[in-house]
Amino acid sequence: MRRLSQLLLRGLLALLPLALTLYLLWALVVGSERLALQLLRPLIGEVYFPGLGLVLTLALVLLVGVLVSSQAASRVLGWIELPFTNLPVVKSIYTSLKSFADYFAPHRHDRPAQQVVVVRPPGAEWEVVGLVTRPHDHGLPEGFLRGDRVAVYLPMGYMIGGYTMFVPRAWVTPIAMSVEEAMRQSLIAWMAPGATPSASPANPNPSVRSPSKELAP
């Protein structure tokens, strides 16, 4: 009986991620299909084929991406954003979400590359993994400790939140891991075995592990 229970549990654990992934994808496709058709019905009339809403949504997103890439459209977008960046409560929500989205967007040449680091205080035998969100203390208001410091975002397991710490640069060590992989590992509380071959502690990359090279202010 115990053996049977273990097999049932293993089968459930094997099927659950697949079933949830398929369900979320199905819900996303069906939801976007219905929403797109409701918005575009006055323009397309009764014309419809399965997947039309999703195709039109992707085309609209692509069109917006092309438009915002031009300087003129960026100015128009700035005018559209004015209500969202000036209303008291809406401003906090919108700017927070926009800043979070901009952080994971492809970085421009004038922005530092996103970096995954290990935070390890001197003499400590524990360490945490985080993302450098600010490579210097320039522009911070009065009251912060000054010096060679960086801001590191520490995501919590299962994405229930996180903390931002301002720590000395000497406390952080860059690791050979992408931001996406670090966020995925944090989501599952680092229960998955291994992350990336290049991040193996047995063969670290000295150039990557040098804070002065990767986190220059």
Query: What pLDDT digit, counting tens, does each position of 140-155 carry?
Result: 888 888 888 999 988 8
Considering only CA atoms, give the Rg of the chain: 23
Q: Which of 152, 73, 134, 86 is nearest to 94 (CA)?
A: 86
Q: What is the rounded CA–CA span in Å between residue 162 and residue 46?
A: 47
Sign (positive or negative) of CA dihedral 36, 39, 42, 43: negative
Structural contact between residues 199 and 167, judged by C-beta atoms closer than 8 angstroms: no
Q: What is the pLDDT of residues 25-60, one digit of tens each?
A: 888 878 877 777 777 677 767 776 777 777 777 887
Q: What is the pLDDT of residues 179-205, one digit of tens each?
A: 888 888 888 778 776 555 444 444 443
Whole-structure pTM value: 0.51
Q: What is the rounded CA–CA span in Å between residue 58 and residue 35?
A: 13
Tracing tokens 């891991």 back to the chain, one arrives at 177
Q: What is the pLDDT of residues 86-128, one digit of tens each?
A: 777 777 787 777 766 665 566 555 555 578 999 999 988 899 9
